[in-house]
Amino acid sequence: MLPLEGITILDLSRLAPGPYCTMVLGDLGADVLRIEQPGGSARDQREKAAEGGEAEAKERREAAFNALLRNKRAIGLNLKDEEAREVFYALARKADVVVEGFRPGVVNRLGVDYETLKAINPGIVYCSISGYGQDGPYRDLVGHDINYISFAGALGVIGPDFDQPPTIPLNFLADYAGGGMLAAVSILAALRVRDKTGQGQNVDISMTDGTVYLAARLFSEYLATGRPTERGRYWLSGASPYYNVYRCKDGKYISLGCNEPWFWENLCKVFDREDLIPVQWERSRWPEMVEAFKAIMIKRTQTEWVTEFDKTDIAYGKVYSQDEVFDDPQMQYRRMGIDVGEVNGETVRQVGIGPKLSETPGSVRSFGVPVGEDTDATLEELGYPAERIAELRERGVVG
């Protein structure tokens, strides 16, 4: 048994937040149906034409290795066409959740908005993920993760020095955490309410809101004191000697997180700097201590320091590159790198399941497939005869 077994999700999303959300729900057992433009985007179609016979194999490989597409079926529907919308409505009548990530207003123009689907299926949980939300003065602004975390005050506090530009943290914060992960949590909450009332609801996820929400503790400090966090001068952002990253002799890095006094004391003893034990909280001495620790750490390799730190209680971490992560014994034990099958004779390896449920663990039951892989089967389930499916495909209604 899987936790979300029996839940059907129609996924209209394209970019990172929505597919990540539905990957999480799919890993936990939901039946996810990707609905995309037949043949992909115009750019996709041009690339396929240029590559000829290799295009299909390449597309299938890319889909298989993309973890965000796993545990999902895929059909092509041109929602600008009335007949395609009828197919979508038929699917929506039986669905539990719809996830979309278009710019606000697009689903209304396509006729697949919440109010329309609610009239068809009052129990539908409809989740919209956008940069700034479905209302407000920024509703129609375009953007990406870097823009959302800027408005949310997150980018402004990330980086080593307040006199230097902020450090761009990839697109983890708004896209995946404030967008996709928060959407998954919110959908589960809405489904729980539906279990009690029988009614669905509209879930409005703003990636900017979500990023502010992630920073709740940091904003709590500002709202209590009136003092904004200064980039590079906060104890959790590289100002303190005990919560920092240091370069080793071999060019590799180790992170230290010795916040607690007992960890700090152990660290100072290993460094033969017991004189610093009483002055951990003296901010005026932090720059001096950081430089002292840099000079100490550079004298040994990462492996040598790990051997030393393992002799006592010191909070440390080896700073891995991506090609080191899945060789780590903890990652192997926790199965965070898994083989999920083969495509074109090649083993497909993906990130493992994050949530570990003892009685109903999630699973990867299938890897991603190209758009349209399941179109015929899905339409057949809805009662469309083969001749009708062929006609719709010929006219580009489905694909």
Catalytic residues: 144, 175
Conformational region of residue 77, where left means phi above 0, alpha means psi within -120 to 50, and beta covers everything else? beta
Q: Is 272 left (phi over 0), alpha (psi -120 to 50) or beta?
A: left
CA dist., res. 265 & res. 272, Å (int): 10
The answer to whether 139 and 132 are in contact (CB under 8 A) is: yes
- Number of H helices and E strands in the chain, helices first, is 17, 11
Rounded CA-CA distance 18/185 in Å is 13
Do residues 61 and 53 make contact, with C-beta atoms less than 8 angstroms apart? no
The strand pairing partners of 126, in sequence order, are 98, 202
* CA distances (Å), origin 211, targets 129, 220, 258: 13, 14, 27
Contact 293, 246 (CB under 8 A): yes
Q: Are 130 and 220 in contact (CB under 8 A)?
A: no
